[in-house]
Every structure is written in structure tokens, then in C-alpha cells.
Chains A and B, each alone.
Chain A
Amino acid sequence: MSLLQTRGLTVRFEGLVALADVDVAVGEGETVGVIGPNGSGKTTLFNALTGLYPPATGDIVFRGRSVAGLPPHRIARLGVARTFQSSRLCLQLSVFDNVLAGMVAARRTGLLEAVAWRRRARADMQAALARARHLLGLFNPDLPARGWERVGQLPQIDRRRVEICRALAAGPTLLLLDEPSAGMSPAETRALMKDLQIVRDERRGLSVIVIEHDMFVIEGVSERVIALNYGRKIAEGSFAAVVAHPEVREAYLGQEHARA
């Protein structure tokens, strides 16, 4: 029984089909890589899975229930967390605040407790902060000490780590990583691969879908690879099999030719 399953997932904008009839399944604890040229629908797939773009037709089943058409915050609360291609952190807020934002939804402390029941609200917050420190420390031992700095002051790679921490802070069962290596040097990408390993060790049973351009990252982390082009799934299987697939080769080589 897979954790996530889409059936005939289709997303349209003004008649333009961004995602056509895509079937994707992710098992528990599995890491799936998604590849495809620019504009092939990879990020659209994530946006559909997280509820930002409601599907035109098709269904998304997550943990046995249909989530197609649910608003993003409801889907997030069911256990789907994500990062964004161009990171979406609140640069004015502190590192801790950004990580804590991932835990907001799960908290039950209400307005009255925040105002009147100070001790409880404070204890709750301290526990959350401890968890944020722990998560940040997994990725970079220096990060917890910089927790009160504004995120805007961190280097790019640490921002990406903070964003992953925010996603993990929600305690998800499915984590969607949208091109974690975007805008990073090869050395940083290598560091990031180590981080992804940490993510999976930290939470056994966590399923991950990762979109990547960098084939080394894909090869290194994913157990199964899905290739998209023009919004359709063109190949699925092991990394070696997908890369050797003629349609995948054509999609990428065709692009190379167009570029040249």
C-alpha cells in the first residue's frame, strides 16, 4: 500500500495543460527522484500535491484518503511538507522563527493560553525551540548558535538547510524537496547530499520526493526515478533504466540541440 498515489492527475491553466494524466506512487520510507527538462511539470506536480494548484481532473490519495481539492494548509496538516525551488523563507524573521513556523499548525495553544496561561505557553515554546535547535544542529552544528539572527544574514546553503528544517519541523510523513541544489556550488551540493542522508536517517519511514537537475544528486539519493516531459510521465524505474530510456534521452538531448 503506497503512502501517496495519484491517478490521472491533470492540471490546466487557461487551457494550457501543465500536467497530463500523471500517475505517481510513493511507498512508505521510499525516496523518489523526479527529473525532466525545464517546464516539464515537475514543480507543477508539487504544487498539485500540496494543494496550491487544485487538479482539473484526477485524484490524489494520501494515506488512504483523497486530498484533491483540499486547501494547502489542510494537506500540510495531514503530513505533507515541502521546500521551494527559490527558497521561500521569511528573511526578516529569525532562523528559529522560520523553523518554528513549521510547527505552528500542530500547536493547540490558543489565544487565551498565550495571554493568560503564561507558564504553559512558555514551556510549550521552549520545547519547540529545543526541537528547532536539534533539527538545525543535525545539518550544521553552527546553526543553532545563530538561531536568533535573521535568516537573511545566512549564506545560501544554510538558508536551504533552514528551509528543510522548517519542513521537517512539521513532522511530515511525506517530504517534497524542490531542487535543493539550485544555486549551489558542487561542494555545497555534496554537503547537501549528506544532509539529505541525515534527513532520511533522522526519520525512518519518511517518504521523500526530490526534484533535481543534478543527476549525481538524483543517483545518490533516489531509489526510484520518474521522468516528466511536457507534463506527462515518460519514464519510471531505476536511475540507470530511466536515464537510458529513449524518450528521456530525447527530452534532454533535444534540449541540448535546441540550445546549441
Chain B
Amino acid sequence: MPPLELLLQQALNGLMLGVMYALIAVGFTLFFGVLDVIHFSHGDIYMLGAFAGLTALAAAAAGGVGGGALALVLAFAAAIVVTGLIGVAAERLCVKPLARASPLMTLLATLSLGLVIRESVLIFYPRGADPKPFPRLLPQGGFEIGGVSVRYENLVILAIGLAAMIAVDLVITRTRMGAAIRAVAQDAEAAQMMGVDLDRTVDATFFIGSALAAVAGILSGLYYSEIHFIMGITGGVIGFSAAAIGGLGNVYGAIVGGLVFGLLQTMAAALIPRGSEFRDVVAFAVVMLFLIVRPRGILGARTVERV
């Protein structure tokens, strides 16, 4: 059994990862709630968010705003807008036209769109095949508490992640658009009869979900100090897993699911011999078992299929 400090340290790391996963998972769960679709290119949208952030940072540096908080704010703003719009475009291209086809068609179309996004970054981003170093913009250093080293950087990442989640929660629970999103998730037809503009609501949902993925992408760049075009596949699978363990369609479930997945990974790394290599294996195995035992997820409601 590893020492307690190591476990606490890994729990903290798991929390960090979990926040990022949760941000991706919220997108999956929102899309599923509103349109009953799995947006399989969402992982690659997350990767795009990271690249949009990196590009914005490079542009900011070229424009003389190198380093510091201002550049970071600019990067977040640019990535959120660009990625959000791309998310909406993805929905218009691959989800809406297939609304009447079988859900499997949407799954295949978004899966292929993800492939297109991934390959486009690989081919068209300068030297896209290599991992890209991501600038360290957050305050370095840290402190130690009870044998656990806490880095300022990590605290900022946690804070940004939590702020993004709270912001989304506020949007969904307190605004008119949020009410529309919830109404469509409940019953799209009824919502339309009550005067909800379905297209706009769906657009808004995809914008919000993709923007969150962009935040996750930049956070992941800041955390790992590098980004890679391939990160979208694992990011997507993990985000979807997190949403599924949380219960598809439930935003809080997605957040819980993200944290659970992050903790699973880091605990596997700590507790299992050669765990750092096999951490994904362990995490996915647990997810599989969980979905078999409880396919509705932690917070998912039992759905009754209408006949």
C-alpha cells in the first residue's frame, strides 16, 4: 500500500484531470439531452480548442501582448468563440441534416467529421504531426501541505475549470436561453409549441458545449505544457465515458463522472504496478463494468421508451 501522502497527491492530480474531463463531458451530455445524439467529434472539437488557444497566444505574442494574464484571457476568449462557432457548424453539417435518419447515422457522421478535423490539423497546422509546446503562462512554484505539494499553476487551473462550470450552471438555470435548453431537453415538441425556437436553442447548446471543450483544451495545454492533434480521440472517449457514468443528459452527472474518471486514472497509477502505463486500461475497464451494472449512470433517470 503506497503512503497516504502519495494517495492524497494522486487525488489532487485526479481532481485536476477530472475538472478537464468534466468540461468535455458536459458537452456530450448537453447534446444528448437536447437532441438525443452522441456528438462523436466533440473530442476533436476539444483538441481544436487547444489549438485555437495556442494560435491566439502566438498571435498575441506577435502583437506584443506576450505572456501574462491578458494574453491568457485573450486566448480563452478567442478559443471559446472560434471553437463554439465550429461546434455549431459541426451540428449544422452533421447532426441537423440527419435528424430524421437513424441515430446511428449521426454517430457515424460525427465520428467521420472528427476524423476530418483531426487529419486537417495534422496536415494543415504547421508541423501538425509533432506535439506542440504550450507556453507556461501560469504562476510557477507552490507550497507543501501535509506532504502534498500543491502548485499555484494547478490551483489556477482548478479555479478556471470550476468557474467555467459555475458559469454554465448559471446560464442553464438562470437565463431564458437556459430555460429553453431545459425545455427542449424535456420534450422538444412541447417546447416548440410553447414558442421555443428549436434551431436557435440547439445552436446555443452546441456553442456552449463546444466552448466548454475549448476551455478544457486550453487547460489541458496549460497542465501538460504541450498539445497534440491526437489528444481529441482520448479526450473524446474519456469525456463520453464520464458523461455515461454520470448519466447521459444530466449535467451534474457529467461533472461527477469527469471527476470519477480522473480519480480512477490517478488512483490506478498509484495503486497498480506499472500503473502509469495501464491507467487508461484500468479506468476504461471500470467504466465498462459500471455501464453493464448500471447503464443509466450515477445520476441518470430511468427512461421509459414510448411505444
Which residues does A use to contact B, with CB under 8 Å? 13-14, 43, 47, 52-53, 84-85
Contacts and interface: CB of A to CB of B under 8 A. Distances in A.
B304 A13 contact: yes
Contacts of A85: 307
B302 A52 contact: no
A84 B65 CA distance: 65
Classify chain B: how many residues form its interface, as a range. under 10
Most buried by A among B301, B302, B304, B307: B307
Interface of B is mostly: loop
Interface string B286-307: 0000000000000001101001
Nearest to B305: A52
B304 A43 contact: no
A52 B307 CA distance: 9
B111 to A, nearest CB: 22
Contact of B302 (A14, A43, A47, A84): A14
A256 B302 CA distance: 34
Identify the 9 closest CB pairs spanning chains A and B, nearest first: A13-B304, A47-B307, A52-B307, A84-B307, A43-B307, A14-B302, A53-B304, A14-B301, A85-B307
A13 B307 CA distance: 14
A84 B304 CA distance: 17
Interface in B204-257: none
B274 to A, nearest CB: 42
Contacts of A47: 307
A14 B301 CA distance: 9
Contacts of B301: 14
Nearest to A82: B307
A53 B304 CA distance: 9
A219 to B, nearest CB: 27
Contacts of A13: 304
Contacts, number: 9
A52 B304 CA distance: 10
Contacts of B304: 13, 53
B305 to A, nearest CB: 8
A182 B302 CA distance: 29
Contacts of A84: 307
Given A14-B302, A43-B307, A47-B307, 6 more contacts: A13-B304, A14-B301, A52-B307, A53-B304, A84-B307, A85-B307
Nearest to A52: B307
B289 to A, nearest CB: 23
A95 B301 CA distance: 38
A120 B301 CA distance: 48
Contacts of A53: 304
Most buried by B among A47, A84, A85: A47
A257 B307 CA distance: 28
B33 to A, nearest CB: 18
Contacts of A14: 301-302
B185 to A, nearest CB: 17
Contacts of B302: 14
Contacts of B307: 43, 47, 52, 84-85
6 contacts: A13-B304, A14-B301, A14-B302, A47-B307, A52-B307, A53-B304
A14 B304 CA distance: 10
A150 to B, nearest CB: 15
A85 B307 CA distance: 8
A20 B100 CA distance: 36
A43 B306 CA distance: 10
B306 to A, nearest CB: 9
A55 to B, nearest CB: 14
B186 to A, nearest CB: 14
Nearest to A46: B307
A163 B307 CA distance: 15
A52 B301 CA distance: 18
B100 to A, nearest CB: 12
A84 to B, nearest CB: 7
B300 to A, nearest CB: 13
Nearest to A88: B307
Contacts of A43: 307
Contacts of A52: 307
A53 B307 CA distance: 10
Nearest to A85: B307
A192 to B, nearest CB: 21
B101 to A, nearest CB: 11
A242 B104 CA distance: 47
A53 B303 CA distance: 12
Nearest to B304: A13
A199 to B, nearest CB: 22
A92 to B, nearest CB: 10
Nearest to B102: A92
A50 to B, nearest CB: 9
A249 to B, nearest CB: 29
A85 B304 CA distance: 17
A209 to B, nearest CB: 15
